[in-house]
Amino acid sequence: MFYHNKIVLVTGGTGMVGLHIVEELLKAGARVRVPIHSRSLQIKHENIETLSADLMRPEDCLRVTEGVDYVVHAAGATAGAGVSALELMPLLLINTVLTSNMLEAAWRLKVKRFLVFSSSTGYPAFEHPVREDEMWLEPPHPSYMGYGWQRRYMEKLAEYVHDNSDTKIAIVRPTAVYGRWDNFSLKAGHVIPSLIARALENEDPFVVWGGGKECRDFLHISDFARGSLLVLEKHAVCDAINIGFGQSVTIEELVRVILDACGRSEVKIVFDSSKPTKIPYRAVSTEKAAALLGFKPQITLKEGIKDTVSWYNGCAII
């Protein structure tokens, strides 16, 4: 009942994460407000209010935040593995300005709670599931010099607001998420949607960047949305919590799951280790989320990939 009849602003509500947050909030009986800028909202509901806004403008942030109980800040720019350091620069600026603007608006308007999405890219390159308290022991992996350090700064900016205002801050450190409404662009998409798109284009041989032994923790977006809202409800104390699946998989294993879901399990797989793959191992400890929130993922990788492929196929047919 925590969200029932509460007014919740979801920035980035037209993107993959934001859309699923909106859906979960509607299930919980919330009244949801979504700023609209460059994309339209793909779902409709009587409890959704949309407002035209550019959150790079502080005055628009104040306008859309007026009268809300909570803010889920899911707006931001992302990039795939192939984006150069120079191409990443504008995205870092956008994310910094968006977050700063929204935190200031929440502070000025005395919003009760604010959810910030950090990132597991801020963690050091440890070869074990990383705990939340290990974030600051060493710098991020060199491949995340820009994005990882920026996410660390976002956490400190949120801490500044938490310590100096009446707004309670919740911080989520996501693992790699995937699912419906993802970006399936071959250039800008992340690993799972890009691989699905290529698999359905009948590539043969199927060339995969890296050696195949890189490890990741992948979480279906529905589980991620549910877990994130639990953090805002139960742990808005400016203390970050990992939301992940809690079990790593190699890229080779992932590719085979994707090819099987796409009906292409017999295709030849070729690994190209000359291509960029970021960090060789990334997994997060989910013990804190289980202990404090009672959070456990409900969707396995095979189930989640099958659901994502089915959804993407339906969109392609339409």
Q: What is the pLDDT of residue 248?
A: 94
Do the beta carbons of residue 176 and residue 191 sit within 8 Å? yes
Q: Quick one: how far is CA 132 from the chain centroid? A: 17
Q: What is the pLDDT of residue 80?
A: 62
Q: What is the pLDDT of residue 82?
A: 62
In the numeric block, the tokens 């037209």 are attached to: 14
Assigned CATH for 7-317 = 3.40.50.720
Do the beta carbons of residue 13 and residue 74 sit within 8 Å? yes
Q: For the chain, percent helix, then strand, then coil, each to nearest 5?
A: 40, 20, 40
Q: pLDDT (tens digit, 0 to 9) for every residue of the chain, 318 residues total?
A: 899 999 999 999 999 999 999 999 999 999 999 999 988 999 999 999 999 999 999 999 999 999 999 999 999 887 665 667 888 888 899 999 999 999 999 999 999 999 999 999 999 999 999 999 999 999 999 988 899 999 999 999 999 999 999 999 999 999 999 999 999 987 667 899 999 999 999 999 999 988 999 999 999 999 999 999 999 999 999 999 999 999 999 999 999 999 999 999 999 999 998 776 778 899 999 999 999 999 999 999 999 999 999 999 887 543
Q: What is the per-residue pLDDT across 60-79, written as a single tens digit (0 to 9) for each?
A: 999 999 999 999 999 988 76
Q: What is the pLDDT of residue 318?
A: 36
Distance (Å, whole) CA 58 – CA 76? 15
pTM (predicted TM-score): 0.94
Structural domain boundaries of the chain? Answer: 7-317
Q: What is the pLDDT of residue 87?
A: 82
Q: What is the pLDDT of residue 168?
A: 98
Listed residue (118, 156, 154, 115) closest to 284, CA to CA = 118
